[in-house]
């Protein structure tokens, strides 16, 4: 369904005129590339287990595209399908646009459909034909609203069989899965199933997640990370300006990033707040919750001694799971609540529930549970995800920290070791960053990823993830090709079973970005080194409109 003209903003009209630039290798079209194959690959870990699970697609070579003639590219008409899986990320529409343009330039008869509402659309045969006129209104815009997204997983034999049948019914020759680690793991499993059944259909993945935890040597960043962190940095920068203006509040900002702290680190680089908590560091140093609180209190006291009763603290969404004792507590709670679901449901008050749970915990974990603020303890016992586990992302970690900080400061005040004032304000920035207008970087990157996916399809490749690299250079200098999805996998124990999954990329504590952060954080703690990045720039000087993340800049400089 086309958007109403009255619903299109002035910026959207202007962005529609933006023409993404392709890497040199793709400029003559997705069917006019020379395919250069590397050596066979292996998974990042658990090679024997992953090989056993992917007997038909394991060990594929890395593929790179170069300029040149390609007589082996498929000449027949190709009908492809695209599905958006998982949470939204800026630039998703440009992936569709790049894929559409790449297919159509190769052969005007090539077609593209979009499955609606994520992977469930495949199972329900719910789709729409991608129409050039309608697609024009979505180019260079944020969100996934053209075909929507969803979190359904295709993993059972029945679902694989249904997927095969429905791809046949829709006359689909190739499926492009746009998603994060779980979604691309699904893509690899579908590719393996089709290969095992001797079905000649391609399955290609595209790396998407604002969390930034889907990356490796070839996938230098996942799309959406650039735009999302710029969006959050604008908001945090505004708060920094307010804090230094009013000089009376401590702002605690929780940022998205359930499994990794990449967003928090990048926003830290962009705004230089007083405290930036990195979950991976806390885990490596085996810090207790009390130690984390004390580290924040130390900064609050130092600033107070200089007459500064204000500051900014960034908190990654998944912090609580990086604290070893909290992770152990959450794991124990998951087991207790699963094993005693009926008995637990009979209890009416939170106090009864807490006493019941504490009675089944070890003495150490019971003491920890009782030390938590009532609201947080309630969330740990009440909020569950679809798998029946504690909904960690829903826990207001920033409020937990504040309550414990207030308690600690009150103790120090009684001992005359703290004379300042502590007033706090909390913020959570999550959904604000997922559907913004993609930055020029993400608009170019996502279009290239989609166009490159078309090249992978036209060359009959399956089980690959579209990759575009050399990202600090101008788009025409970007490299492109495909990497086997199995190359990124390891095996993890989930719900009592071994499951193949793409290994998440956590903040590397020995990497250049973290080392640079460590050099600067002491200065940030006690001074007002705040940076105010402002909104994303789409026009103007290239050093502003084309700038990418500090993380990528530090990582690429490390390779030189």
Q: Which helix (H) or strand (E) holds 175?
A: strand 174-179
Q: Quote the percentage of the chain above a pLDDT of 90.
A: 84
CA distance 214 to 182: 10
The residue among 441, 468, 440, 443 whose CA lies nearest residue 454 is 468
Tens-digit pLDDT profile for residues 340-388: 989 988 998 999 999 999 999 999 999 999 999 888 888 888 766 655 6
Q: Quote the percentage of the chain above a pLDDT of 70.
A: 96
Per-residue pLDDT, averaged over 488-515, amounts to: 90
Bridge partner residues of 390 (DSSP): 384
The residue among 453, 483, 479, 495 whose CA lies nearest residue 176 is 453
Query: Given this model, what pLDDT does residue 479 score?
Result: 97
Q: What CA–CA distances, in Å, run from 40 to 163, 230, 418? A: 29, 38, 62
Per-residue pLDDT, averaged over 551-559, amounts to: 89
Residue 280: helix, strand or coil by DSSP?
helix
Q: Which domains does the chain possess? A: 24-224+438-494 (3.40.50.450), 225-317+396-434+503-560 (3.40.50.460), 320-394 (1.10.10.480)
Query: Given this model, what pLDDT does residue 2 score?
Result: 56
- pTM: predicted TM-score of the whole model, two decimal places: 0.95
Q: Which helix (H) or strand (E) holds 557?
A: helix 550-559
Residue 502: helix, strand or coil by DSSP?
strand
pLDDT band at 7 (very low <50, low <70, confident <90, very high): confident
Tens-digit pLDDT profile for residues 137-184: 999 998 899 999 999 999 899 999 999 999 999 999 999 999 999 999
Q: What CA–CA distances, in Å, run from 36 to 60, 74, 113, 453, 477? A: 13, 16, 29, 16, 17
- Two tokens, residue 328: 């152990």
Do 220 and 466 touch, CB atoms closer than 8 A?
Answer: no
Tens-digit pLDDT profile for residues 294-340: 999 999 999 999 999 999 999 999 999 999 999 899 989 988 988 89
Residue 560 CB partners (closer than 8 Å, separation 6+)? none
Residue 105 CB partners (closer than 8 Å, separation 6+)? 29, 30, 31
Do 34 and 68 touch, CB atoms closer than 8 A?
Answer: yes
CA distance 398 to 293: 11
In the predicted structure, residue 548 carries a pLDDT above the cut 90: yes
Could you tell me whether strands 464-469 and 424-429 are parallel, antiparallel, or unpaired per DSSP bridges? unpaired
Alpha helices in 39-91 (DSSP H): 47-53
- Two tokens, residue 299: 């900064």
- Two tokens, residue 230: 């710029």
Q: Residues with catalytic annotation?
A: 211
Q: What count of residues does the chain have?
A: 560
352: phi then psi, degrees, rounded to nearest 5 = -60, -40
Q: How far is CA 32 from the centre of its chain?
A: 32
Per-residue pLDDT, averaged over 115-130, amounts to: 97
pLDDT band at 4 (very low <50, low <70, confident <90, very high): low
In the predicted structure, residue 389 carries a pLDDT above the cut 90: no
Residue 38 CB partners (closer than 8 Å, separation 6+)? 61, 62, 63, 64
Residue 444: helix, strand or coil by DSSP?
helix
Residue that has been written with the tokens 């130690």 in this structure: 291
Q: Is 447 exposed, middle or buried (0-12, 13-18, 19+ CB in 10 A)?
A: buried
The residue among 102, 273, 261 whose CA lies nearest residue 176 is 102
Could you tell me whether strands 149-150 and 174-179 are parallel, antiparallel, or unpaired per DSSP bridges? unpaired
Question: How many Cβ atoms from other residues are within 10 Å of residue 149's Cβ?
Answer: 24
In the predicted structure, residue 1 carries a pLDDT above the cut 70: no
Alpha helices in 307-427 (DSSP H): 319-322, 324-339, 341-346, 350-358, 363-371, 374-382, 397-414
Do 469 and 220 touch, CB atoms closer than 8 A?
Answer: yes
CA distance 426 to 400: 11
Per-residue pLDDT, averaged over 459-469, amounts to: 97
Do 11 and 435 touch, CB atoms closer than 8 A?
Answer: no
Q: What CA–CA distances, in Å, run from 473 to 26, 447, 487? A: 16, 16, 26
CA distance 163 to 182: 17
């Amino acid at each position: 369904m086309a958007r109403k003209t009255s619903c299109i903003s002035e910026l959207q009209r202007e962005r529609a005129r933006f023409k993404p630039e392709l890497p040199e290798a793709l400029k003559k079209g997705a069917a006019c590339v020379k395919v250069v194959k590397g050596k066979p690959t292996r998974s990042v870990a658990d090679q024997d287990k992953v090989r056993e699970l992917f007997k038909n697609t394991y060990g594929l070579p890395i593929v790179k595209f170069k300029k040149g003639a390609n007589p082996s590219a498929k000449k027949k008409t190709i009908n492809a399908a695209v599905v958006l899986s998982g949470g939204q990320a800026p630039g998703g529409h440009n992936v569709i646009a790049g894929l559409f343009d790449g297919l159509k330039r190769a052969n005007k008869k090539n077609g593209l459909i979009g499955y609606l509402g994520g992977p469930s659309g495949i199972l329900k045969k719910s789709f729409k034909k991608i129409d050039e006129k309608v697609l024009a209104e979505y180019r260079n815009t944020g969100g996934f609203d053209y075909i929507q997204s969803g979190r359904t997983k295709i993993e059972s034999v029945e679902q694989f069989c249904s997927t095969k049948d429905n791809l046949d019914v829709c006359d689909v020759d190739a499926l492009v899965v746009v998603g994060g680690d779980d979604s691309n793991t699904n893509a690899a499993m579908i590719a393996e199933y089709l290969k095992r059944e001797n079905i000649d259909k391609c399955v290609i993945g595209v790396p998407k997640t604002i969390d930034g935890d889907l990356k490796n040597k070839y996938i230098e960043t996942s799309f959406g990370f650039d735009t999302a962190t710029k969006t959050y940095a604008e908001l945090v920068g505004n708060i920094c300006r307010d804090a230094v203006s009013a000089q009376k509040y401590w702002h605690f900002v929780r940022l998205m990033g359930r499994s990794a702290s990449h967003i928090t680190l990048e926003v830290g680089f962009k705004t230089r707040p007083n405290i930036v908590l990195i979950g991976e560091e806390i885990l490596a140093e085996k810090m207790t919750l009390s130690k984390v609180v004390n580290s924040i209190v130390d900064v609050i006291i130092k600033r107070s001694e200089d007459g500064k009763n204000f500051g900014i603290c960034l908190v990654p969404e998944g912090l609580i799971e990086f604290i070893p004792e909290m992770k152990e507590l959450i794991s124990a709670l998951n087991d207790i609540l699963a094993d005693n679901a009926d008995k637990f449901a009979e209890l009416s008050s939170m106090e009864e529930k807490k006493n019941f749970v504490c009675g089944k915990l070890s003495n150490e974990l019971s003491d920890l549970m009782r030390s938590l603020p009532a609201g947080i303890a309630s969330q740990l016992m009440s909020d569950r995800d679809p798998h029946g586990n504690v909904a960690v992302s829903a826990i207001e970690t920033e409020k937990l920290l504040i309550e414990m900080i207030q308690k600690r400061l009150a103790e120090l005040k009684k001992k005359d070791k703290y004379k300042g004032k502590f007033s706090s304000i909390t913020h959570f920035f999550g959904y604000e960053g997922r559907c913004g207008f993609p930055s020029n970087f993400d608009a170019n990157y996502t279009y290239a990823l989609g166009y490159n996916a078309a090249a992978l399809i036209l060359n009959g490749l399956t089980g690959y993830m579209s990759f575009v690299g050399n990202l600090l250079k101008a788009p025409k200098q970007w490299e492109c090709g495909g990497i086997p999805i199995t190359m990124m996998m390891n095996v993890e124990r989930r719900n009592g079973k071994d499951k193949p999954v793409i290994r998440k990329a956590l903040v590397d504590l020995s990497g250049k970005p973290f080392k640079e952060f460590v050099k600067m954080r002491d200065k940030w703690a006690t001074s007002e080194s705040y940076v105010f990045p402002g909104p994303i720039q789409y026009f103007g000087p290239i050093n502003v409109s084309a700038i990418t993340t500090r993380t990528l800049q530090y990582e690429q400089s490390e390779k030189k």
